[in-house]
């Protein structure tokens, strides 16, 4: 990935904040859910970044903001250098071709009244890509690309198995030749034997087309398998981000450590029935003061309750936001040798 480091990232998200209003009450001030609370990261060309975290951490909202299915409250989302965070629908259209999405539930995300050919053909028409006889050839080529065939052209979604439907969803995303595919849990509804097929397909397509993936997932074993870098989210913030090997081998943030310790291993000789974390994720309507993780953190001290930790670099390309771990961070003491996308905008908003 060294050559990719020098070119600007395909996707650069800076200080993204998404707030949803909560139902107004007559006597209370209007409350907001801070679904995403100052998130910054980038995705390079040909790279897979996994966004992981438990339900309610805001990972899906980040994905939906990038698709502009959700309008960010503030912050920027730059695609090839252009900020799409506040573009109008019309202005957005050319960028829709660059970013496509694959959804979790292949049953719910395909129109049951359209044939496979129509499903894949629709984006080709919307973006004026091919017409006439070429169109059908292109559709067949796409079907074959994802491991289906021309015999599937006139079939309806209900005639496909779950794995085949997910292949269809991938073919639809590929139709417009995107640079980035946002996958929101694209594997979690699939059976394991089929999940492995789709992992291999995504891997193959990435190599062939130099695609970038933003992979939103909760299954860390899958994430380790498919991603180059991993960002760990907790209550609307990124608490740690780095190369996959670094995150899994030497996680820094106590939350990342707990998350990894909680993953059951498929080996009866390595039993570790432990409770890595007590309690549950607090409500994002009233997140805890300071570091949002402090009520569940074994290392928490006074400062964690008062002050939100800044993201800092612990190793080259490995960032985390933790007061306690930062004290022993030797890397931070060194003068910064390199401008880094994340370091540049690594501040965490205190709103």
Q: What is the binding site for another protein (CB under 8 A)? A: 54-55, 161-164, 191-197, 199-200, 218-222, 224-225, 244-245, 248-249, 258-278, 280-281
Min CB(192)–another protein separation in Å = 5
Our CB check for another protein shows the closer of 82 and 245 to be 245
Q: Which is nearer to another protein, 175 or 297 (CB)?
A: 297
Nearest to 34 by CA among 63, 84, 73, 82: 73
- Under a CB-based contact definition with an 8 Å cutoff, are residues 183 and 195 in contact? no
237-243 vs 229-234, strand pairing mode: antiparallel
**Which of 178/254 has CB closer to another protein?**
254
The residue behind tokens 């909680």 is: 262
Residue 239 CB, shortest distance to another protein, in Å, is 14
Question: Closest approach of Cβ 275 to another protein, in Å?
Answer: 5
Least distance between another protein and beta carbon 263 (Å): 5
Contacts 24+ apart (CB under 8 A), 117-120: 117/153, 117/154, 119/157, 119/168, 119/172, 120/168, 120/171, 120/172, 120/175
To the nearest whole angstrom, how small is the minimum distance from the Cβ of residue 22 to another protein?
16
Based on CB atoms, which residue is closest to another protein, 30 or 278? 278
CB of 186 to another protein, least distance (A): 14
Q: Which is nearer to another protein, 58 or 341 (CB)?
A: 58
**Which residues face 233 on adjacent strands?**
238
Nearer to another protein, 67 or 322 (CB): 322
Query: Given CA atoms 160, 161, 162, 167 in this order, what sign does their dihedral have?
Result: negative
Q: How far is the CB of 111 from another protein (least distance, A)?
A: 22
Give whichever of 127 and 276 is closer to another protein, judged by the CB atom.
276
């Amino acid at each position: 990935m060294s050559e990719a480091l020098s070119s600007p990232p395909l996707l650069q998200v800076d200080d993204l904040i998404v707030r949803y209003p909560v139902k107004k009450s007559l006597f209370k001030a209007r409350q907001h859910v801070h679904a995403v609370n100052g998130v910054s990261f980038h995705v390079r060309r040909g790279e897979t970044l996994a966004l992981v975290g438990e339900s309610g951490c805001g990972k899906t909202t980040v994905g939906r903001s990038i698709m502009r299915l959700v309008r960010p409250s503030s912050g920027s989302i730059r695609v090839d250098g252009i900020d799409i965070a506040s573009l109008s629908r019309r202005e957005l259209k050319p960028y829709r071709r660059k970013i496509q999405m694959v959804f979790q539930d292949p049953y719910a995300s395909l129109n049951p009244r359209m044939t496979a050919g129509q499903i894949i053909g629709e984006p080709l028409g919307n973006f004026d890509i091919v017409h006439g006889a070429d169109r059908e050839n292109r559709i067949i080529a796409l079907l074959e690309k994802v491991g289906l065939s021309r015999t599937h052209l006139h079939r309806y979604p209900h005639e496909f198995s779950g794995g085949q439907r997910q292949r269809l969803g991938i073919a639809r995303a590929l139709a417009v030749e995107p640079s980035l595919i946002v996958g929101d849990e694209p594997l979690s509804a699939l059976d394991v034997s089929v999940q492995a097929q789709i992992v291999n397909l995504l891997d193959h397509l990435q190599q062939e087309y130099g695609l970038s993936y933003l992979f939103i997932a909760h299954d860390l074993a899958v994430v380790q398998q498919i991603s180059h870098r991993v960002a760990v989210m907790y209550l609307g913030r990124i608490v740690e981000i780095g190369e996959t090997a670094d995150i899994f081998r030497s996680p820094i943030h106590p939350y990342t450590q707990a998350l990894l310790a909680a993953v059951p291993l498929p080996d009866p000789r390595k039993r570790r029935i432990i409770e890595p974390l007590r309690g549950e994720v607090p409500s994002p309507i009233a997140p805890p003061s300071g570091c949002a993780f402090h009520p569940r953190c074994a290392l928490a001290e006074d400062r964690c309750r008062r002050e939100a930790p800044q993201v800092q670099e612990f190793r080259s390309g490995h960032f985390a936001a933790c007061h306690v771990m930062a004290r022993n961070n030797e890397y931070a003491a060194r003068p910064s040798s390199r401008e880094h996308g994340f370091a540049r905008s690594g501040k965490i908003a205190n709103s």
